[in-house]
Amino acid sequence: MATADATVEPPAKPRSMRSLLLGLVLALVLGAGGFYASWSGLILGNDMADDHGEGQPESLQGIAFVPLETMVVSLDPTSGSRHLRFSAQVEVVEAAANDVALLSPRILDVLNSYLRAIDPALIEDPQAMAQLRAQMLRRIQLVTGEGRVRDLLITEFVLN
């Protein structure tokens, strides 16, 4: 009779908790070391790490923000909303801040006229915000003159 060769393997030892704990400690130490190296500028050569908050980077120097009054624009009766509450700030060159603040009534007039004239479906579309911002920024730049206004920051855009 043929006998089957049955090889019985001994049961595998479960991993010890010691090696798991050692791996966890090493991961924490290496993660903290990597964070410190990148934060202090040892790895990526971070130029701002030398400043430690002293002064501003060159790209932030020379700008100012001119707040615009909050506007309430009545919308078309066929739209789902009745009013649009809109407020924004204009990012300007610091030297032109007073000039732009002086022209804020014209800016509000242009924005009010634009927001009343566009299709209400466009106002209600959340994906159209970038297009609306670009159109309003261009109109503001035309009113204030070239080179004064850098950006339009919409702080409130509420439909009710």
Q: What's residue 47's pLDDT?
A: 55
**Comparing 47-51, 53-57, 130-134, 144-148, which segment has the lowest mean pLDDT?**
47-51
CA 109, distance to chain mean position in Å, is: 28
Which pLDDT belongs to residue 12? 65
Burial class of residue 25, CB neighbours in 10 A (0-12, 13-18, 19+): exposed
Residue with the bigger pLDDT between 129 and 58: it is: 129
- Put simply, whether the predicted model's pTM sits higher than 0.75 gets the answer no
Q: How far apart are CA 116 and CA 149, in angstroms?
A: 23
What residue spans define the domains of the chain? 17-49, 62-159
User: Pick from 109, 115, 158: which is nearest to 135 by CA?
Assistant: 115
* The pLDDT of residue 24: 92
The overall average pLDDT reported for the chain is: 84
Select from 3.30.479, 3.30.70, 1.20.1250, 3.30.40 the CATH code of 62-159: 3.30.479
Q: Whole-angstrom Cα distance, residue 110 to residue 97?
A: 18
The per-residue pLDDT for range 25-73, each reduced to its tens digit, is 999 999 998 888 888 878 776 555 455 555 555 677 889 999 999 999 9
The structure tokens listed for 57 are 């980077």
Residue 156 clears pLDDT 60, i.e. is over it: yes
Q: Read off the pLDDT of residues 72-100 as tens digits, 9 standing for 90 and up.
A: 998 877 777 788 899 999 999 999 999 99
